[in-house]
Amino acid sequence: MGATSSSVFAFQSFRLDAAQRQLSQDGQPITLTPKEFDTLLVLVEAGGRVVDKEELIARVWPDSFVGDGSLARNISVLRKALGDEVIETHRGRGYRITLPVVLRDSPSVPSPTEAQTEAEEVAIVKHRPWSRRKAGFVFGAATTLLILALVITRFLALDHARPHASASVGPIRSIIIRKEGAIDPLDEGFKLYFADETPSPHVLYNRETNGWDRWRLVSTNQNYYYRPLSAEQKDFALQHDWKLTCTCALESGAGFAIVDFAGKGPRFDIELLQEGDRYFVGLIKQISPTLELDEKIEFAGVADVAHPHTYELRYDHTTKTASLWIDGKQMAAGYRGHYQFQEDRGLFFGAEIYGNASKGSAVFREVRFEAQ
């Protein structure tokens, strides 16, 4: 991660020991997962420079392709641990740490005996003749300037050597793209598509957890968020087993979660549908000129906005088919997707009109695509 075995960073009341992989505040340890620690370490090493999202992802997950959602979650955790104002978001670019960072050479914490010895040495200095104290002050000032020069040189070297978005990070070993909770999908690397009118997104409050944990998207036509897949990512996914997960609910019309392998393979759709006071889960095999479903399963839980259920497509690369699971129970198998209206959107989810509904309104707690 660019830190030496003796790298210790201090910023305000925090202390980050790269060698021991420990973070503390005023001597009290703060628990982080390895990836959360790595994310903070990259930001701290940058010393106040804005770190691009691509650079953060490449350094924290060097062997995997992950979406911005994983990074956004790490940033959210770090803000809870350090304070919201400590990490600054630069929309469309990345993040930076706002506190002044000091690099210290020694990771060791003085023992009580060492601390007492240091205090005694300070007392002795106070009673030295001026000529000797003057020499000590000159030496101390010179040492301080040397340390500052080393710190500046180190940060300049890190800035010069940092990986760029175009740099190769090796072969793909796994893919994880995720939208979670009430985080704005735009902050998680998704783009917004909307047809004919401005979309109406909202975050929903959960009284049971005292937090905002769902994202609502409303449309009088069709609106969705999407995250394209590269040709390499499509190839990898189609040669491995993958899973498309949507923990979501429907208020009216239709909602959907889709993965599209345009140019490499078919498109797979999970659809939540409302027909009067009945609700269904469908797997699309044709959209035009009429909608045809490979499977259509009635499930009242589709409308449970307070407690969204989990719908999954599990793909078997050996049979090239997907099975539908609802809340961990298999409900259908043999789904081969379709090839209509492929727009190379990759992973996308949203709401649309359906049947007699005047609008589509869908709620999403999590949308995830993973292959490994």
Is pTM beyond 0.85 here?
Answer: no
pLDDT surpasses 60 at 193: yes
Q: Does domain 1-112+139-170 fall into CATH 1.10.10.10?
A: yes
pLDDT band (50, 70, 90) for residue 192: very high
2.60.120.200, 3.40.50.460, 3.30.499.10, 1.50.10.10: which CATH number matches 177-371?
2.60.120.200
Mean pLDDT, the chain, integer: 83
Task: Compute the average pLDDT of residues 357-366.
Answer: 96
Residue 109: half-sphere exposure toward Cβ, Cα within 13 Å: 11
Q: What local confidence, expressed as pLDDT, does residue 187 receive? A: 81
Q: What local confidence, expressed as pLDDT, does residue 326 receive? A: 98
Strand order in the sheet with 278-286: 191-194, 222-227, 347-352, 254-260, 267-275, 278-286, 292-298
Spatial separation of the C-alpha atoms in residues 237 and 139, rounded to whole Å: 61
Percent of the chain with pLDDT over 90: 60
Examine domains 1-112+139-170 and 177-371 and report if their fold is the same.
no
- Give the range among 186-190, 237-241, 260-264 with minimum mean pLDDT: 186-190
Residue-range domain boundaries for the chain: 1-112+139-170, 177-371
Q: Is 288 buried (19+), middle (13-18) or exposed (0-12) by CB count in 10 A?
A: exposed
Instruction: Give 43-60 pLDDT, tens digit per residue.
Output: 999 988 999 988 998 899
pLDDT surpasses 90 at 7: no
In degrees and rounded to multiples of 5, residue 92 shows phi and psi of 85, -5
Instruction: Give 307-354 pLDDT, tens digit per residue.
Output: 999 999 999 999 999 999 999 999 999 999 999 999 999 999 999 999
